[in-house]
Structure 1
Amino acid sequence: MYPVMNRILQLAFVLLLLAGAGPAAAAEKVRLQLKWYHQFQFAGYYAAIEQGYFAAEGLEVELIERDPEVNNIRQVLNGAVDYGIADTVLLLYQEQGAGLHIVAPIFQHSPNVIITLASSGIVSPLDLVGRRVRLYDNETDGFPLMAMLVEQGVLERGIVRQPFSVDYMALGRGETDAIYGYSSNEPYMLRQLGYDVRLIQPVHYGIDMYGDMLFTSVREATDHPVRVAAMRRAVLRGWEYALDHKEEIARLILARYSKRKPLPALLYEAQAIEQAVARFTVPLGTLDSGRLRHIAGIYARHGLLDKHFSAERNVFFDRQPEGGVRLSEEETAFLQQHRVFRVGIDREWYPLDFVDAAGRHSGVAADYLNLLSQRLGVTFKVETGQPWPRILEMIQGRELDMLAMAASTPERMTYAGFTRPYIRSPMVIVTKSDADYIAGAGELRGKRIAVVKSYASHEWLAANHPELDLQLVDTTVQGLERVATGELFAFVDNLASVSFLIKQQGLSNLKVSGQFPKAFDLAMGARSDWPLLRGILQKGLDSITQQEKDEIYNKWVRLDYETHIDFRRVAPYFAALVAVLALVMLDAWRVRRLHSRLHLANQQLQLAEEQLTEKNRELEQLAITDKLTGVYNRLKLDAVLAQQVALAQRYGRTVSVVLFDLDNFKLVNDTHGHHIGDVVLKSFAALVLNSVRKSDIFGRWGGEEFLLVCPETSSAGAAELADKIRAQMSALTFPEGFIQTVSGGVAELHEGQSLLEWLTLCDKMLYLAKKGGRNRVVSDLM
């Protein structure tokens, strides 16, 4: 009996333990937006689910098939999904200030290709000149192809551009000569139908870009860095498994996800994907910063990115890459607890540390932070909205964790620990150009000297030269301007910043006239109660190579300033030399003096030419710009139209125009006043600019009429775009409570038509739209 009772008691105890344990921690739900329909292109994600890699990381991942009508990148940005898949077009979104964070590149090479029939004889980009080519309507999609065509001179010579279509059989039916495609998809389908095809691949012409990349929002990366790292680990494990078990995953796709492709097509795609991933060349998920900068350079060359764009921003890198930072166990544990650091910067200390026009942290300090983010695997959350004195207050109050760039002063060392300096810039004296060389602080007595409030120059001068009359300014630009206008005699700051801003601001009447025996030794500062952070930052800075430091310095800093000789110090030596070699030295002095004057005159002439060129450029821009709306004016549009007609006649290109007219616009002016009418005109212009392609040309035709020129676009395509603009305008309600509609006329340039006939036809279409009741678009094909 006792053994039975013991068993019952043991069972009851186990049940009580199970009841008290409660349910297991629920997995975090994550929504991942695919780039296209279900196929082997996303095999690693299916494998990560099937093999339990996501589950092992505490994640429950939902894969969402692409809706081609919806922007999959915007879905991540607006929070509809948590993660997405896209290619290097992500750089363009980052340039525009979108909060995107690259987690892992899966395809080391883009599978974008141009496909032709072998019978066409088209085997290289130049063979496409004058041929019909189907490309994406938006040039940023499939950018490797567009870059290849531009760099090979194909677009300049001209192609007959046709709108993109997923109907790849148009190539077999002879409706086009070349189509855009993926090396993993369309070639197989066409070959199965008996067509012998050729592939033109951008990588063969020097355009080698990343393909599919896993990305998320900066919000997700900042708020959930552990989840981002978990997603990356699970996805990379999934891809390793999928590529090692291609047929197994292909059958899984057929069984659970999609039957659009048969098994042989999926296996062909798998082999092509293996080549794009290139995992036997570089480890899966590798993102090379040098290659990323090279890709950004290609975009910049085509006017899509600013040349100072930092390609390494918002990119996930493993904590300790090969040859990277070695952290102690204590430091590693510290970073496990603190993955996001709040950083204070000086938003107006050009070019060292500043916020650019798009609101992004830029300059020398920003590039160093990007490198540290890569090497340490942390995120820096930069405070861009506060002035420098407030930044110092915030780190004292522990509202910030570190300073990106600051000089170590006795006062600051009471609340922050500093790394060793990573950049040095002399403390110099800036005056107007007619001032003499200033040998030291003694020559500044009795004069009003500007310094930026709370800068190291302010603290140092106040402590070491209390006799000077210091005038506090808020920014370096303000200090330079007050000297340039003669309000103050001199300004003291670091050489790198003043030399950059004198050029940028066009303050040609300023020069560097002297130097203090003090340099700005600029370092990173960490809050004093986190000594481990100071050590981690120092190790990160130590891992930056001299070549990397030189690249950053040369990118931002130009040391162009005038060197002066203190003749009072060299006079005795000069006199002795004159006594010995009077005639020789006198002649040499005359030659040097003449050379100096000639050099100065050449400099002044060059500066005048540069200023004249810049003014002419500004005048030229003003001459072709509508003053109210900021878009092109009638003068520019006339030139564009004449050019488009010439191109169409020479190369047989397609081009269409849309003439817009704001409906009953006079009523707006009469009812609400001309100032509201101006608001309507500017709002419509801004709406159109946000809706058209980079290749389209838009301007004000006159009054309330606007003209849109659409190169390589048929009448049907232009009408579709015009109707989208019309619908967006009619959906806009102005603060005064009224709705402004617009009508449009569309006409395509046909063979034999003159410019006047073309525009007359477009005007007629606009008349029909007005006559038909307004708020509509009429084209010449309707």
Structure 2
Amino acid sequence: MKHVVFISFYALLISESFSLMAAPSSPSSIRYCIDPDWAPYESLINGQHIGLSRQYLTLIEKNSELTFTLIPTESWQQTLDYIQANKCDLIPMLNSTTNRKNFLDFTKVLFRAPNALYGHYNQPLVGHLANINQQSVAVVTGYRLHRYLLEHHPKINIVEVENEAQGLTKVQNKEIDFYLGSFHGANKYIKDNALHNLRIVGISELEDKLRIGVGKSLSHIIPTLNQAISQITIAEHAQVFSYLKDINTTQVKDYSMAIKSASAFIAVIICLLFGYWRSVNNASILEAKNKALELAHQQLDEKNKQLADLAIRDSLTRLYNRGHLSECIQQQIKLKERYNKNACLIILDIDDFKNINDQFGHKVGDDVLQHFAKQLTECARSVDIVSRWGGEEFVILCPETNIDEANVIAKRFQQCLVETSSDALPCVTCSIGIAPLRESKSADQWFIAADNAMYQAKELGKDTVFIVENA
């Protein structure tokens, strides 16, 4: 009987051992590294991790049984080296790239943010990276934007910098032309250091989609992290985002060490009195500086919004411009490739517009273009992208739209032109071409098909719609 009990206990012990070996458990505390100089997303101040990623880690700890231990590093490149050398297990906030997937697995998106191009006020507006040719652009070594420039914009003169501060300072000092970096991070540094000669001169098409990156040896905790992220409420996300507005921009010097170093009691008293007097005297100065910085930041934000809008809008009609439309077309092609989403391109050209300029003058011609654009906007749906391609030619990108639905939009606009005609402006008509998006078609091929359809409409007598069935 004793032998039977011993054998049963031994079998149970072996079973439990195999069970533990088969299901890896999460470590009691997960080691993580950050970018030590990427405020406000994350940074090291006196050895303490602060920023958005720290707040998100706190929420994840609350929503799971995971705990995290910081492994300090001196640079972003060292953080990447540490994660690959297994000196830390996790990076709490970074973009997913093809190269990083070789040594990291990624959670769902935690935070989204734009990237912008910064230049000196003496620099003209650029709009998009494609408009830069042979000019110098600084970017932080090892950032996703660095690899993106190398792969997609090889003509740009890339200047590698160690951090965001170095890149923005070089632009301020006119050592280089532009700096490409995160919108929130660059704006914070500009505000904190009063770099009022800098402004946004363009918008990057590459958006930051920040995630948690986990070393391959701990990839089994990805579901736990994703579940914890899903449990973060909208209010908690909003509270984290509010951190961007709550950052202190002025720090008061600490005189405690000078006081402690005094060699006599009377010297301590004198230092205390002097420190008190100085703090009272500087209170109004510090308050004025903070107000000035806050006002400068508000003005910078407002200018940035205006510049961002100018970069994607046509100055005369306020419709989207050619550059923004081109980006939207590329996005629609990707949706077609991945999800087989329908889309149509509508090209409209005002008939005999040259005669209007010749007979009534360019001022009336501009008024006709503005009226035409206004009617286009009112007749289009909220999902449609309405743009001015150039001159008297306009384009509507219609997502998730088949040929029949696009034809209805075109006919409705023709009717709208008739109903809104007045004695104040010459009556106009337009020729319209429609082309659906077909598989394996490039942006140029799609646009040429719609453009040819528009010219077919003109050959049929103008003021008509021509549809390309097999674009």
Normalised TM-score (structure 2): 0.50
Greater relative contact order (Cα < 8 A, sep 6+)? 2
